[in-house]
Structure 1
Amino acid sequence: MRRLTDLLKNIYGAQVQGDLTVQIEGLAYDSRKVQPGFAFICIEGYKTDGHLFAQNAVENGATVIIAEKPVTVPSSVTVVTVEDTREALAYMGAAFYDYPGDKLNIIGVTGTNGKTTTTHLIENILVKAGKKVGLIGTIKNKIIDRVLPVTNTTPESLDLQALLAEMVDAGVDYAVMEVSSHALELNRVAGCEYDQAIFTNITQDHLDFHETMDNYLAAKQKLFINLGKNSRKSRNKYGIINIDDSKGQSFLEVTHGQVITYGIQSAADVRAEKIDLRSDGVSFTAVTPRGSVDLKLNLTGLFNVYNSLAAVASGLGENIALPVIKEALEEVKGVPGRMEKVEAGQPFAVLVDYAHTPDGLENVLSAAREFTKGRLITVFGCGGDRDRTKRPIMGEVSAKLSDFTVLTSDNPRSESPAEILRDIEEGVKPIIGPEKYTVIEDRKEAIRHALNMARAGDVVVIAGKGHETYQIVGTKVLPFDDREVAMEILKEKFS
């Protein structure tokens, strides 16, 4: 329970009608979750507007309404008008849960690609160093060993603060989290004080939301701009930046923390030399300000060299010894849905990957090409109700890097799968003829076609959905796991 005045202390310009001293039993941004004594925060979403449900919230027991615009509720209800209810939700949530982020070391990873793998690698380093770790991301949320369900890459601010509070109660030392551009733009992480901000890379994605690459970049940079500002913690802050990325320098210029750069091509603080890419992993020497260390990882692809360099830099920022970092990184067998192998005794390789951006697909196919002795066969599609402009670009990437491409449905959502496939084809047709690609809308049949045509020495990459266990068609969420589907087909074929 908290007094309303205490919850509003970091929200400037709030206009209050009613009792500021009222005691708040809980917070909610969904009127159906309101209980007696709650404050209801009206959030304007994409499908509906929380302001329309203020009266419903009152009927369910809300004694306070936080709004951006006028609402009609009984005069006995306190109404607080703020400029931005999303920001208010974040700061009120932090205050309600007694600022759990101040009691944790928080490491945030942002970028178009590599967030999930990088957070998993950092988690393993911290655990190896004897720390208790919480993980927040695309695949799962974890509190030490307890796995929790995921709805967004970065949870809504109130849910995030509740999760961080659970971590504090469990004795967690570090929270390692993926920080999406949506979360930064929508103030989901406002009220969180980060101790490390890590930038992996930036390439085209989410332009359905951000509209321009400049807006997308500006959203990512917020994590670095806010690093160390108005700090409530007495510890060093680190901005860890992929300086090889074309936008890396811009992140370096805006961060307030101490900078650690990493890369392969540049004279970075942490860099990789003597890189040896293989089908079963990658070896390289990590050169750091504290000495060099030879690493032999079970992850393959040049992009995973970058991910592991980011993790090395993060470990160094936390004063973890290089031998501990080495042991932790070499123990990681893989990350679900990231270049994940499907093995059923077949004489060719099958890899499932989450790559759903032009750069992500290029990285995965380039990595696979390094160890493909026969043909590289790619199965992929693009999601509906998302950035349409990347579809032909991804088609072009697959056409250029694959020997054969099977275009198929991904998560079409409310869009016509056939129209999405036509968009992708616009990038394929100028590059290759009809003998080098096919279109099979049914994803299971598309995977079956690729596996049936594969021969010894070939590599089949099934891209786009990775760890996902569902397919969104219209408003339905249907069970579908690329890994399970591929395994089922392979067992039929090779049992």
Structure 2
Amino acid sequence: MVIDGIEIKGIAWDSQKVLPGYVYIHLKKDGSENEAMEEAIKKGAAMIFIEVEKELPKSAVPVKRIVDGKKILIELCNKFYHDPLENMKIIGVVGEYGTVITGQLIHHLLREEGKEAVMFDTRDFAKAKMPGSGLWLWGEILASLGDRMGQDIHYMIINLSLASLQDCSLYGMEFDIIVHTVLAENYGDQEKMAVNNLLENLSAKGIVIFNVDDKGCIGLLESLKNRLVITYGFCPRATLTASSIDTALALHFTCCIQRGITDRNGLEIEPMEFPVCISNLGKQEVGDVLAAIAVGLVYGVPAERMMDIFQDIQGLTKKAKYESR
């Protein structure tokens, strides 16, 4: 990538990670810009973008003043890593509870069906205590995808907490499916704004898979009346529901598809019932499994195939403390 005649060899938004020939993008507004610029230049930065209003000190390398650092970061990452999101189906799993298991099940279903997929969790950035983790989330994802060029990845699952939605930009992210699990108990105006921001990034033909058991968020359905919605949960009117639940040796239940679903290939899936068996999960994860089944059906994974995949599945990560119900 060349900017103003200068060859760029990489992108960094942490001055400590700058290497020779990199462009450094300073996103913080905490008065640390002079120190960060000095460090980036010492490490060999070829160019610096900085989001600051005050006069900048003279620099040995070109410095560009910018208004929206997040937008510039995503645009440069997309260009440098050759638009890794192009033609990729992005699945957002949003909630404070249920996203870990749901995301893993979706990832497993797609990969076992031969659909190459990757998964990210916004909490991984927070646990790593990355400064401004939410702000830099998409840059990290794009960089990771860029490193996997040639792997022919067609699906990306992103587990999104409400905190990350409030702290990060969704530039360049067009979601094919948004899965709603369980949102915060105190679902206030800030949380509503964050979720609405996410829904605005749903593609024109995107689908929302909605948990009707999350009573605090039923009002969201009103804003989705012009969208394709697949509901799931224990509510008898849900598109996907469960019956005959048994957890004696493993999680057993009957998945009931109560209304027809059209998959991404245009095939109509008629109402049906089929048995599900998964080890190491309990009744509280039934909703997570139903959400994953809905995604599998949309992407053309037959019910019979999902039955086999679930029965053989191993290695699911148990919910972390922040996800305990």
**1:60 aligned to 43, 55, 64, which one?**
43
Q: Following the alignment from structure 1 to structure 2, what is the Cα–Cα distance between the partners of residues 33 and 316?
A: 42
Q: Following the alignment from structure 1 to structure 2, what is the Cα–Cα distance between the partners of residues 204 and 24?
A: 46
Counterpart of 2:298?
317
Contact map agreement 1:224 1:251 (CA 8 A) in 2: no
Shift of 1:140: 7.6
Which of these two proteins has the greater Rg computed from alpha carbons? 1
Q: Secondary structure at the match of 2:106?
A: helix
Q: Following the alignment from structure 2 to structure 1, what is the Cα–Cα distance between the partners of residues 163 and 243?
A: 35
Identity of aligned residues (%): 23
Q: Secondary structure at the match of 2:171?
A: coil
Shift of 1:88: 2.5
Counterpart of 1:3?
2
Q: Secondary structure at the match of 1:278?
A: coil
Counterpart of 1:286?
256
Q: Following the alignment from structure 1 to structure 2, what is the Cα–Cα distance between the partners of residues 140 and 167?
A: 19
Letter of the structure 2 residue corresponding to residue 241 of structure 1? F
1:201-212 → structure 2 map (5 Å cutoff): 201-204=182-185
**1:213 aligned to 178, 183, 188, which one?**
188
Counterpart of 1:302?
283
Q: Following the alignment from structure 1 to structure 2, what is the Cα–Cα distance between the partners of residues 51 and 224?
A: 38
**1:227 aligned to 170, 184, 202, which one?**
202
Q: Following the alignment from structure 1 to structure 2, what is the Cα–Cα distance between the partners of residues 177 and 82?
A: 28
Contact map agreement 1:110 1:179 (CA 8 A) in 2: yes
Contact map agreement 2:242 2:253 (CA 8 A) in 1: no
Structure 1 pair 29/140, CA: closer, same or farther in 2 (3 Å)? closer
Shift of 1:22: 3.6
Structure 1 pair 251/60, CA: closer, same or farther in 2 (3 Å)? farther
Shift of 1:305: 0.7
Structure 1 pair 256/27, CA: closer, same or farther in 2 (3 Å)? farther
2:4 corresponds to 1:35 = no
Greater relative contact order structure (CA < 8 Å, 6+ sep): 2
Counterpart of 1:97?
81
**1:241 aligned to 175, 188, 210, which one?**
210
1:39-438 → structure 2 map (5 Å cutoff): 39-44=23-28, 49-50=32-33, 52-69=35-52, 70=54, 72-74=56-58, 77-137=61-121, 156-187=137-168, 189-204=170-185, 213-228=188-203, 236-246=205-215, 247-250=217-220, 253-254=223-224, 258-278=228-248, 280-288=250-258, 289=260, 290=269, 291-333=272-314, 335-338=316-319, 354-356=320-322, 360-361=324-325
What are the superposed Cα offsets for residues 32-83 of structure 1, whole Å, 9 maximum, x if unpaired?
Answer: 222233221112278x845641232123222322222136343563333333
Q: Following the alignment from structure 2 to structure 1, what is the Cα–Cα distance between the partners of residues 274 and 34?
A: 56
Letter of the structure 1 residue corresponding to residue 2 of structure 2? R
Contact map agreement 1:202 1:217 (CA 8 A) in 2: no
Structure 1 pair 158/255, CA: closer, same or farther in 2 (3 Å)? farther
Contact map agreement 1:225 1:254 (CA 8 A) in 2: no
The alignment of Structure 1 onto Structure 2 pairs a total of residues equal to: 308
Letter of the structure 2 residue corresponding to residue 214 of structure 1? D
Letter of the structure 1 residue corresponding to residue 208 of structure 2? G
Shift of 1:100: 0.4
* Unaligned stretches of 5+ residues in structure 1: 5-19, 142-148, 206-211, 230-235, 339-353, 362-495
CA RMSD of aligned residues (A): 3.1
Structure 1 pair 62/179, CA: closer, same or farther in 2 (3 Å)? same
Runs of 4+ displaced beyond 6 Å: 138-141, 149-155
* Unaligned stretches of 5+ residues in structure 2: 261-268
What are the superposed Cα offsets for residues 184-220 of structure 1, whole Å, 9 maximum, x if unpaired?
Answer: 2333543233221111011248xxxxxx832123223
Structure 1 pair 115/166, CA: closer, same or farther in 2 (3 Å)? same
Counterpart of 1:384?
none
Shift of 1:227: 0.8
Structure 1 pair 55/139, CA: closer, same or farther in 2 (3 Å)? closer
What are the superposed Cα offsets for residues 255-305 of structure 1, whole Å, 9 maximum, x if unpaired?
Answer: 975322212115122222333343632423332523221212224433311
Contact map agreement 1:67 1:79 (CA 8 A) in 2: yes
Structure 1 pair 320/337, CA: closer, same or farther in 2 (3 Å)? closer
TM-score (norm 1): 0.55
Structure 1 pair 74/313, CA: closer, same or farther in 2 (3 Å)? same
Contact map agreement 2:29 2:51 (CA 8 A) in 1: no
